[in-house]
Amino acid sequence: MTLIIPKNERSDEPLDTEQLIYHPDMKRANEWILTEYEPPVRDVCVFVPCSRKKPYHESPSHRIFDRVI
């Protein structure tokens, strides 16, 4: 899997602030979704929010998302 932002290019700014939407990495990821992401041909596309707990498969919210989706 190709990372949207390689680890060596990520910002050192914290991701756990109220200003998260303005974080350089979030802006870059959002721009990637808008300009480069090509979803598979399906009727529905579901985007799930980030999780504070990593890895995602251990996150309580992502376990619920996986079960529901």
Q: With b meaning 16 or more CB within 10 Å and e meaning fewer, what string describes 8-47?
A: eeeeeeeeeeeeeeebeebeeeeeeeeeeeeeeeeeeeee
Given a cut of 80, whether residue 61 has pLDDT beyond it is yes
SS3 26: helix
In this predicted structure, what is the pLDDT of residue 1?
A: 61
Asked whether the beta carbons of 32 and 4 are under 8 A apart, the reply is yes
Flag whether pLDDT at 42 surpasses 80: yes
Return the amino acid letter for 18.
E
CA–CA separation, 46 and 24 (whole Å)? 23
pLDDT at 31 over 90: yes
| Highest mean predicted confidence (pLDDT) among 4-8, 14-18, 27-31, 46-50 | 27-31
pLDDT the model gives residue 19: 83
pTM over 0.85: no
